[in-house]
Amino acid sequence: MSTDFSHVLAPGRIGQLELSNRVIMVPMGTEMGDHDGHLTDREVAYYAERAAGAGLVCTGINAVTDDYEVINAGLGRVDTDAATPGLVKLAEAFHARGGRVSVQLTAGLGRNINNIDPERLPISASDNSHWLDPSVKCRPLEADEIKVIVQRFKEAAERCAEAGIDAIDIHGHTGYLIDQFMSPVWNRRTDEYGGSVENRCRFAAEIIAAVKEGAPGMPVSFRLSVDHHFEGGRTPAESLEIAKVLEAAGLDLLMIDEGSYEAMDYVFPPYYLGDNCMMGSVQTFKDALSIPVLGCGNLTAERAEAAIASGEMDFAGIGRALIADPEWAAKLAEGRREDIRPCIRCNQLCVGNAFVGQPLGCAVNPTVGFERERMLTPADNPRKVAIVGAGPAGLEAARVAALRGHTVDVYEKSDQLGGVLWPAATPEFKKELRSMIFWWERQLKDLPVTLHLGTEITAGSPELDDADAVIVAVGTNPLTPPIPGLDGDNVIEVIDAHLGAELGHRIIVCGGGLSGADFALEMAEKGHDVTVVEVADGIASDLLMINRITLLRDLAEQGVTALTGHRVVEVDATGVKVDGPDGPVHIAADTVVSAFGVRPASALVEALTARDNAVAIGDCVKPAKVGDAINAGFEAAFAL
């Protein structure tokens, strides 16, 4: 692994603003504001914590007006002077740390707005259909209304400048209102704001000019989705012409990303999309423009370094990885690349929370949103802690307990750390999940933690006798329904299949939850003929919608057959008998994989938690997502 990140860490400049390095935290919403959409102390603390991880930190979107579109409660807004005190706190928090902060301003969501107000139709460039409810037609903005919105940008920029904010980003991507004007698929106007590229970009260009007038000398960036990834959407070639117009309008930095609501998985790329998934056209923009260019999209530190070193781009856009580890750049500077906590790209508690209006969280970093409350200070009464189970809950509990000064012994019956993460992370697209295990292993090496692998704990195990506190994190057991033949020689439990059991060419996966679906995709990518049988109406129905978009597309592209609404009736030596809407059918297979799910290891939990000093956490209480287990481990250890 490269240890030289000198180009990523080199000072950078955007307009007149000097940055300590080339890492920029790209805008992401937090849902941490107050009901009126103004910055809270909690939100300021979250952003400021990331000053060590990036030369510039951009906030999530802030509305500049509610003249024509309702601003949902809690959505960031800088449309009145009531926003100024929060902006001042934000600027002061960054400057006290030697950091720089940018505020992202939005004209609105337009056809992408989540809640439709029956009193006011959604606005757009033209009479577009609402993305979620095509029966609702948007109201095209009038030219004089556009002028009002442009004026609101100037006023918002003035507030940011007065508060001491360092830069402003314009929210122009993903098919939101400004993007609806720039794209012919949504802009069918015949006035000065429609038709040619220059006319379609007039709204954006006027906004850039207004921001610069309101905040003289402050650099302005623009986030542009250069590939919408849907039929009729904008392509990189079309976006390049737009970028040239924006540069001519005075833009100081172009942030390149991809996606749209029609291809939402590119907006929040899950692990299925792999590393560096939006870098395909960055070089083209860099070659054509004279202003700095930023690339992003599941960027690795190594790819960022290589791209900046070669002149492919000027700045590295890091998003969720800075949620996972706010010291991203600082650790690179200290030569501690392996100590950066991996973002597993699960979208569970960051994007997933935002979708339901909950404050931002993180599957692997439980301090997100609790930067002040969850500081790992020494415990008043250091104790001897025994942890049973070295899965994600147990490992995080061990790390946190040890950092607080407790002495920790971890007992794991297998010979490998990670619990179910280890086999579940065998696919290449889940490599970051496996990286978490290596990360925990490295963190625990320098802490007062003793790992006891290959050690099975029971209710009477003497290892627990001298513990002051016992944390039980023993996970789950496979669910094995009473299906005839499920104990046959050709049947393999999904965990064993992940761990290298011999598999035939034709595989039937019984169970289409996330575990079965991911395994099916992994095997199909390796060339197997795979069929998934699932009694429910959909595959991986409990998976976050954004991630599921990519999973289903990948399964289809790899030729995986999905038999939903089918129940496994019997397994025999030649395959599986299933019953579906059209009656029973037999499917031939060489190997049958049992992926019916899991249930808590309740017997062991009950035996161990009979002790007064024991608490159970994670999947052994209730099977859930990995982020839930990690957060439970943190909370249990933090409470000691």
Write out the E strands in 525-613. 529-534, 561-564, 567-572, 575-580, 583-588, 591-594, 598-600
Furthest CA-CA distance within the chain:
82
The 3-state DSSP class for residue 502 equals coil
> Which is nearest to 19 in space by CA: 54, 66, 55?
55
β-strand partners of 591: 507
Cα–Cα distance, 27 to 38 (Å, whole number): 16
Residues in the chain, total: 640
- As a whole number of angstroms, the distance between CA 240 and CA 313 comes to 15
- Give me the long-range contacts of 111-119 (CB less than 8 A, separation at least 24): 111/138, 111/175, 111/180, 111/186, 112/174, 112/175, 112/176, 112/177, 112/261, 113/69, 113/70, 114/72, 115/70, 115/72, 117/70
271 carries an active-site annotation: no
d(CA 236, CA 244) in angstroms, rounded, equals 12
Catalytic annotation, pick one of 176, 193, 272, 411:
176
Distance of CA 626 to the CA centre of its chain: 14
What would the two tokens of residue 23 be?
A: 């890492």
Residue bearing tokens 């005190």: 85
Q: d(Cα 629, Cα 250) in Å, to the nearest integer?
A: 48
CB of 63 closer than 8 Å to CB of 156: no
Q: Are 234 and 266 in contact (CB under 8 A)?
A: no
Distance from C-alpha of 615 to C-alpha of 596, rounded to nearest angstrom: 28
Helix (H) or strand (E) segment spanning residue 57: strand 56-63
CA geometry: angle 261, 265, 266, nearest 5 deg: 85
> How many Å apart are CA 159 and CA 168, to the nearest integer?
11
Cα(314)–Cα(55) distance, rounded to whole angstroms?
A: 13
Bridge partners for 58 per DSSP: 102
Distance, CA of 301 to CA of 329 (rounded, Å):
9
Name the residue among 534, 506, 507 with its Cα closest to residue 597.
Answer: 534
Catalytic site residues?
176
